Amino acid sequence: MAMALDERFFEKFGVEYAPNEIIFCEWEPGNEFYFIQSGNVRIVKFIQNREKNLSVLTDGDVFGEMAILEEQPRSATAIAIDHVKLLKFHRDNFDTLMAGNPQLAFKLLVIFSKRIYDAKRRLMILLLEEPQLKVMDVLVMLAEQDPHLDLQNEITLQVTAQDVARWAGLTEDDAQKELTHLSRTDKIEMFGDKIVVKKIREFQRLVASRRKSMYQ
Amino acid sequence: MSNGAGGPSGIITRTYKSGSIIYFEGDKSEYIYILKAGKVFLTTIKLDTGEEYKEEVRQGEFFGVKSALGKYPREDTAQTVGNTTVLVLTPADFERLVLKNANVVKKMLRVFSNQLRRIVKMERSVLGETEIVNPDAELFKIGEYYYKAGVVKHAQYAYKRYMEYYPDGEKAALAMKRIRGIDAGEPAPPDIGGHDAGPAPAPPKQAEADFSFDEPDQSKEKDMIDFDDSTHEDEAPVPSRSASGGTSLSSEMDDFFADTKAPALDDFDADVTMSDSPRDLNDAADTSFGRGNYPMALEMYQKIISLNRTASPEEKKLYEKAHFDAGRCYIEMGKPKEALDLMSKVLRNFTGSPYLKPAIFHIGMIFESVNQKEKAITYYNKVLNMSPKDKLNSDALTKIKQLQGK
């Protein structure tokens, strides 16, 4: 979505970053959110003391938007890939800003719609009781998130055991135990950085039926 | 003004017989609907209890917004009761329609962000036990990671942020040492794990020893008394949140706000119905507070206070919280005197409360808002010296610096 923001706007809220410069760092307090005018920004997170790329954002994207909600430490690090021009907005300016920029507000509306769904989806995993099902549901969630996958057939997910543990809210050992079990029963195949799932539909059905019976 | 629903060309009107399904949970569809005539019920399954939950859409309200915008399957089933007419919008139609009125997007955004806040909060509480981390330690670790990896510029950033936010933090001395080393162009030592036995600057524990704020002391009481509101109250900035806005909306758009409340609040809904349980009251009050409806929130917090239930630890906590949050409501409403009264109650009556430190911080804010800088600084200073060190300590430091004109 092209945004027609005038020059004065950039004068007031514009900030620029050189290639490879940190914009904000995971765990530092966050009070601002950003809108990318030009350039690319890498979002990374530290997992098991390793830097892991979460995504690359570009012109028109918004990041750091969780700062609008509350004062929480940043959940990831943002690093400029190339020369980056940003608009930087403080939480306190939110209302005024939104009133003057319905397009930006609309964009945030779309982002929040997605975030709400993603957060609910994660919560659904956490609310399951058995670790086995949690792990299965993580794989189901990841499969659902990729529209290019053909869920009728064998699929490959770019995910490590640590990732699975994190999504499932399990310790790494517990997640590993469950994954090993699935692999031994030939439901999945594990590689270092990916997991092949033979019949994801089967997991889907299992989780769904268990979820239904959970409350009965 | 071409207002909303009836206006823009290309929007389809569709009529359904009673009992028809407009969409099923799990359907993928990009359409957004506005109820024109008749009745629609949205049925969802609550995530945490598995209960079925029905919500009526009122005429003029939107439904199906989030799943259409977020491009994910429907989370509810929409069924008609009686002959029903709806307007069918594509996301592009919807965008055109709402962009004409910034207030619509703004209010919808507030509702969405409140929902997101609630879900994220619930997620955290489910993860609860395993997720206790100290942001300061984690921030330092990132610095160390980059330092070890030889990416000194990034390491420098993390260390400097650490010093900015946690100048009294446990790793402050080490962070400072690293910053100086990097500035001096020293290469990162191959092994930085164990050895920093060198004469590091001030021991970080020092701040603990200075800690002397163990009980509400007399000087505070005095402050309360000579807090001179008669002369200053007028100067107290009235929060300029224009939450009340929205005057020239078409009625259709107006109704829409109710909608974002209705279909949107599906799972964990905090209905704003009055209930006598402190917990329900608290949830409803928090929601109102989040929406900027401070008078409403205040009313509910005060109800919790008047219930005076402190038998269980949870009730006790809610009772303390209600004092604190009622105080925050007064701050937002531009009533510093009332706010101070409540915050000082927290101070006097709830010595071990988790709300003690935030309350002291807010007292600082109240004095700041009526231009009593010295007193504000006194209170911020108290926060600064309280343990455990967290973000509030660094916020207090920032405040002090600001007030001292730095």
Give the pLDDT of residue B193: 45
**Over the stretch B283-301, which tens digit does the pLDDT of each residue have?**
778 877 877 778 888 888 8
Give the pLDDT of residue A60: 84
Domain-located, residue A2: no
Decide which of A71, A104, A121 is a domain's last residue: A121
Half-sphere exposure of B115 (CA within 13 A, CB side): 27
- Whether residue A113 sits in one domain with residue A13: yes
Residue B12 at interface with chain A, using a CB cutoff of 8 Å: no
Six token digits for residue B107: 């209010």
Give the pLDDT of residue B375: 86
Give the pLDDT of residue A5: 56
- Whether residue A143 sits in one domain with residue A113: no
Helices (H), B215-372: 218-225, 229-232, 251-261, 278-290, 294-307, 313-332, 336-349, 356-369
Residue A91 at interface with chain B, using a CB cutoff of 8 Å: no
Which of A21, A98, A112 faces B102 most closely, judged by CB atoms? A98
Selected residue with higher pLDDT from B193 and A86: A86
Decide if A114 and B71 are in contact by the 8 Å CB cutoff: yes
Residue A208 at interface with chain B, using a CB cutoff of 8 Å: no
Selected residue with higher pLDDT from A9 and B361: B361
- Whether residue A96 sits in one domain with residue A150: no
Selected residue with higher pLDDT from B199 and B361: B361
A79: confidence class by pLDDT, cuts 50, 70, 90: very high
Q: Report the alpha-carbon distance of residue B142 to residue B152 in Å, rounded.
A: 11
- Whether residue A17 sits in one domain with residue A100: yes
Closest to B327 in 3D by CA, of B351, B291, B361: B361
Contacts of B158 in chain A (CB under 8 A): 22, 25
Give the pLDDT of residue B289: 82
pLDDT surpasses 90 at B130 = no
- Whether residue A88 sits in one domain with residue A60: yes
CB pairs under 8 A between A and B: 144
Shortest CA distance from A111: residue in chain B: B70
pLDDT surpasses 70 at A42 = yes
Contacts of A101 in chain B (CB under 8 A): 102
- Whether residue A133 sits in one domain with residue A173: yes
CATH number at residue A50: 2.60.120.10
pLDDT surpasses 60 at B383 = yes
ipTM of the complex, rounded to two decimals: 0.79
Residue B116 at interface with chain A, using a CB cutoff of 8 Å: yes
Give the pLDDT of residue B132: 55
Give the pLDDT of residue A181: 95
Distance from CA of A92 to the nearest CA of B (A): 10
- Whether residue A149 sits in one domain with residue A63: no
Domain-located, residue A162: yes
CB atoms within 10 A of CB A177: 15
Decide which of A100, A121, A142 is a domain's last residue: A121
Six token digits for residue B101: 């009125």
Compute the average pLDDT of residues A95-117: 83
Compute the average pLDDT of residues B156-160: 94
Shortest CA distance from B65: residue in chain A: A113
Contacts of B106 in chain A (CB under 8 A): 95, 98-99, 105
CATH number at residue A159: 1.10.10.10
Which of A100, A109, A214 faces B109 most closely, judged by CB atoms? A109
Selected residue with higher pLDDT from A105 and B274: A105
Shortest CA distance from B108: residue in chain A: A109
Give the pLDDT of residue A23: 97
- Whether residue A137 sits in one domain with residue A183: yes
Q: Which of 164-193 (A) contact B at CB < 8 A?
A: 169, 171
Q: How many domains is chain A built from?
A: 2
Six token digits for residue A169: 């809210």
Contacts of B165 in chain A (CB under 8 A): 28-29
| CA torsion through residues A185, A191, A193, A195, sign | negative
Give the pLDDT of residue B237: 39
Give the range of the structural domain holding residue A78, as residue numbers without chain letter: 7-121
Segment holding A38, helix H or strand E: strand A32-38
**Over the stretch B33-42, which tens digit does the pLDDT of each residue have?**
999 999 999 9
| Whether the Cβ atoms of residue A25 and residue A74 lie closer than 8 Å to each other | yes
Decide if B112 and A126 are in contact by the 8 Å CB cutoff: no
Check if CATH label 2.60.120.10 holds for domain B4-100.
yes
**Over the stretch A123-168, which tens digit does the pLDDT of each residue have?**
899 889 899 999 999 999 999 888 889 999 999 999 889 889 988 9
Decide if B95 and A106 are in contact by the 8 Å CB cutoff: yes
DSSP string, A100-156: H-HHHHHHHHHHHHHHHHHHHHHHHHHH-S-HHHHHHHHHHHHHHH-TT--TTS-EE
Q: In whole numbers, what is the pLDDT of chain B averaged over residues?
A: 74
- Whether residue A112 sits in one domain with residue A140: no
Residue A22 at interface with chain B, using a CB cutoff of 8 Å: yes
Q: Which three-class secondary structure state does DSSP give residue B38?
A: strand
- Whether residue A117 sits in one domain with residue A11: yes
pLDDT surpasses 60 at A185 = yes
Contacts of A79 in chain B (CB under 8 A): 154
Query: Could you tell me the residue ranges of all domains in chain B?
Result: 4-100, 135-192+200-209, 218-239+251-403
Segment holding A80, helix H or strand E: strand A77-80
- Whether residue A135 sits in one domain with residue A114: no
Comparing A1-5, B72-76, B329-333, the range with the smallest average pLDDT is A1-5
Selected residue with higher pLDDT from B7 and B56: B56
- Whether residue A144 sits in one domain with residue A56: no
Fold of B218-239+251-403: 1.25.40
Q: Which residue, chain included where needed, has tokens 């997170």?
A: A45
Task: Tell me how long chain A is.
Answer: 216
B194: confidence class by pLDDT, cuts 50, 70, 90: very low
Residue B70 at interface with chain A, using a CB cutoff of 8 Å: yes
Residue A98 at interface with chain B, using a CB cutoff of 8 Å: yes
Domain-located, residue A115: yes
Domain-located, residue A1: no
Q: Report the alpha-carbon distance of residue B192 to residue B160 in Å, rounded.
A: 18
Q: Which of 111-170 (A) contact B at CB < 8 A?
A: 112-117, 119-120, 122-124, 126-127, 169
Which of B98, B106, B142 faces A99 most closely, judged by CB atoms? B106
User: Counting beta carbons within 10 angstroms of the beta carbon of residue B307, is it exposed (0 to 12), middle (13 to 18) or buried (19 or more)?
Assistant: middle
Selected residue with higher pLDDT from B390 and A40: A40
Decide if B72 and A114 are in contact by the 8 Å CB cutoff: yes
